[in-house]
Chain A
Amino acid sequence: AQTVTQSQPEMSVQEAETVTLSCTYDTSESDYYLFWYKQPPSRQMILVIRQEAYKQQNATENRFSVNFQKAAKSFSLKISDSQLGDAAMYFCLAGKSTFGDGTTLTVKP
């Protein structure tokens, strides 16, 4: 069985600062991708970034980047230059269907 653990139920960051959200996972699959999704309050789940597990290079999308440590099964999300619109719940997804319980990110002006 796959498991995904997000150990930070809540995080807070000052606007324009950097914050890192952690995720660890366990899987027996050899071919899988990892994802971070953002879910603003009462709104749709949106893909933030994707990491192909066979790639050593960390994925980057504008202000969002990951630190992927395959041996440690760790997949953290770094948000640089945080904006008020980044406030949301963030979920880590490993493979097909196993989500973590999420981290609620608050951005302070």
Chain B
Amino acid sequence: DTGVSQDPRHKITKRGQNVTFRCDPISEHNRLYWYRQTLGQGPEFLTYFQNEAQLEKSRLLSDRFSAERPKGSFSTLEIQRTEQGDSAMYLCASSLGGSGTVSTDTQYFGPGTRLTVL
């Protein structure tokens, strides 16, 4: 069990540029989540996947944000035309969904990608 990994760990970009983050979940975990966390706040849910299907998206996920999990393994989160308000830590988590609902899953988090938009 190598844990959840995220790449890159830090990203500095200029306003208006596009950025893409990658998340590799714990192998065999079928559910994958993206969150955004600003300094001193709790994580805010963005979206989650079960296998390759994106089952829920938060209203925080504007049309500049898109997430994919094409083969049900790793996932990418892309932000187009970045704005200074996008500066935050982007967290990925994964869980092994069982017979219960997703609200009973235990999520394991990656180290996050810290985005700074200049």
Binding site for B on A (CB under 8 A): 4, 29, 31-33, 35, 37, 43-47, 50, 52, 91, 93, 95-102
Contact = CB atoms under 8 A, between A and B. Distances in A.
Contacts of A50: 106
A85 to B, nearest CB: 18
A45 B109 contact: yes
Nearest to B114: A42
B103 A31 contact: yes
Given A45-B109, A91-B42, A29 B103 contact: yes
Given A32-B103, A50-B106, A98 B41 contact: no
B103 A96 contact: yes
B110 interface: yes
Contacts of A99: 42-44
Contacts, number: 57
Nearest to A102: B42
Given A44-B111, A45-B109, A97-B33, A102 B103 contact: no
Given A44-B110, A44-B112, A45-B91, A97 B45 contact: yes
B42 A101 contact: yes
A53 to B, nearest CB: 8
Contacts of B33: 97
Interface of B: 33, 35, 40-45, 48, 91, 93, 100-112
A95 B109 contact: no
B41 A31 contact: no
Nearest to B101: A31
B106 A102 contact: no
A45 B100 CA distance: 23
B42 A100 contact: yes
Nearest 8 A/B pairs, CB to CB: A99-B42, A97-B45, A95-B103, A45-B109, A32-B103, A96-B103, A33-B104, A44-B111
Nearest to A37: B109
22 contacts: A29-B101, A29-B103, A31-B101, A33-B105, A43-B111, A44-B110, A44-B112, A45-B93, A46-B109, A47-B106, A91-B42, A96-B48, A96-B101, A96-B102, A96-B105, A97-B33, A97-B35, A98-B45, A99-B43, A99-B44, A101-B42, A102-B41
